[in-house]
């Protein structure tokens, strides 16, 4: 994946990104709101092994760049019946509270529907009411609430909310949506995709979504609404 809109780019994570990913994942300040205030204690080598298996058919870890500077990460995971789970995290504080999360999430959602996703889903911490507001503005539908369903790194119980989104729901709230117009989405001479523009007001909150899979049997997906 390599999609661009103005100064923003979402591309596949590569070997050269593993050191940066390790810095983010081991930073307790960055990871605290995802339930890991002590960081993950992982290494670039471990992350390199994980992304080596990435593919569009199973999962992808993605890098967010602004003017060629790495500022965060995204991911998607493919499940049966073309159901895609997504994650996003703006890691660099200088790029938080600027609405970037909302823009890149919209870019990713549209691209995944073009790739054949039937449903895009995620979950978020029940405490993150502002995040829930952002999701619902994008068309996500609340499907379940799980009270005291997981523990953070300190052993504290947390609750989560499940959300789902279909292409129709996304397009109904984004009138410029052209998910089904695949032929119109072509690379320009500058290599930029002719993306649909979602107009953002300064009042609209950005958000973080962290998706971490330390191994193939355990995963965490938490929405972070702070500081974006």
pLDDT in tens, 178-226: 676 543 433 332 333 333 333 333 333 333 333 333 332 233 333 333 3
Tell me if the pTM is above 0.85.
no
What does the pLDDT read at residue 176? 64
What does the pLDDT read at residue 112? 97
What does the pLDDT read at residue 32? 74
In the predicted structure, residue 175 carries a pLDDT above the cut 70: no
- Which of these ranges, 7-16, 163-172, 217-226, has the smallest mean pLDDT? 217-226
Encode the chain in three state secondary structure: CEEEECCEEEEECCHHHHHHHHHHHCCHHHHHHHCCCCCCCCCHHHHHHHHHCCECCCEEEEEEEECCEEEEEEEEEEEHHHEEEEEEEECCHHHCCCCHHHHHHHHHHHHHHHCCCCEEEEEEECCCHHHHHHHHHHCCEEEEEEEEEEECCCCCEEEEEEEEEEHHHHHHHCCCCCCCCHHHCCECCCCCECCCCCCCCCCCCCCEEEEECCCCCCCEEEEECCCC
Q: What is the rounded distance in angstroms from the CA atom of residue 79 to the CA atom of residue 174?
A: 25
Q: Identify whether the C-beta of residue 30 lies closer than 8 Å to the C-beta of residue 38.
A: no
What does the pLDDT read at residue 99? 82
pLDDT in tens, 31-48: 877 778 899 999 999 999
What does the pLDDT read at residue 183? 39
pLDDT in tens, 79-99: 999 999 998 888 999 998 788
Higher pLDDT residue, 10 or 213? 10
Sign of CA dihedral 98, 100, 105, 106: positive
Nearest alpha-carbon partner for 9 in 17, 93, 27: 17
Q: Which domains does the chain have, with CATH numbers?
A: 2-224 (3.40.630.30)
pLDDT in tens, 104-154: 989 999 999 999 999 999 988 787 777 777 788 788 899 999 999 999 999
* CB contact set of 180 (below 8 Å; sequence gap of 6+): 167
What does the pLDDT read at residue 18? 98
């Amino acid at each position: 994946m390599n999609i661009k809109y103005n100064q923003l780019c979402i591309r596949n994570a590569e070997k050269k990104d593993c050191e940066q990913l390790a810095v983010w994942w081991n930073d307790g300040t960055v990871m605290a709101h995802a339930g890991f205030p002590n960081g993950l204690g992982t290494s670039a080598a471990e992350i390199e092994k994980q992304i080596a298996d990435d593919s569009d058919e199973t999962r992808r870890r993605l890098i967010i760049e602004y003017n060629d500077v790495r500022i965060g990460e995204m991911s998607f995971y493919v499940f049966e019946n073309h159901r895609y789970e997504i994650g996003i995290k703006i890691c660099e504080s200088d790029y938080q509270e600027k609405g970037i999360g909302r823009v890149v999430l919209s870019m990713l959602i549209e691209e995944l529907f073009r790739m054949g996703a039937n449903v895009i889903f995620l979950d978020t911490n029940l405490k993150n009411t502002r995040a829930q507001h952002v999701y619902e503005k994008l068309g996500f539908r609340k499907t379940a609430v799980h009270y005291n369903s997981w523990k953070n790194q300190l052993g504290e119980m947390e609750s989560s909310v499940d959300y789902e989104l279909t292409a129709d729901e996304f397009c109904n709230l984004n009138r410029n949506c052209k998910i089904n117009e695949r032929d119109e989405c072509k690379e320009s001479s500058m290599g930029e995709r002719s993306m649909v523009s979602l107009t953002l007001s300064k009042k609209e909150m950005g958000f973080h979504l962290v998706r971490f899979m330390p191994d193939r049997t355990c995963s965490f997906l938490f929405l972070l609404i702070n500081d974006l």
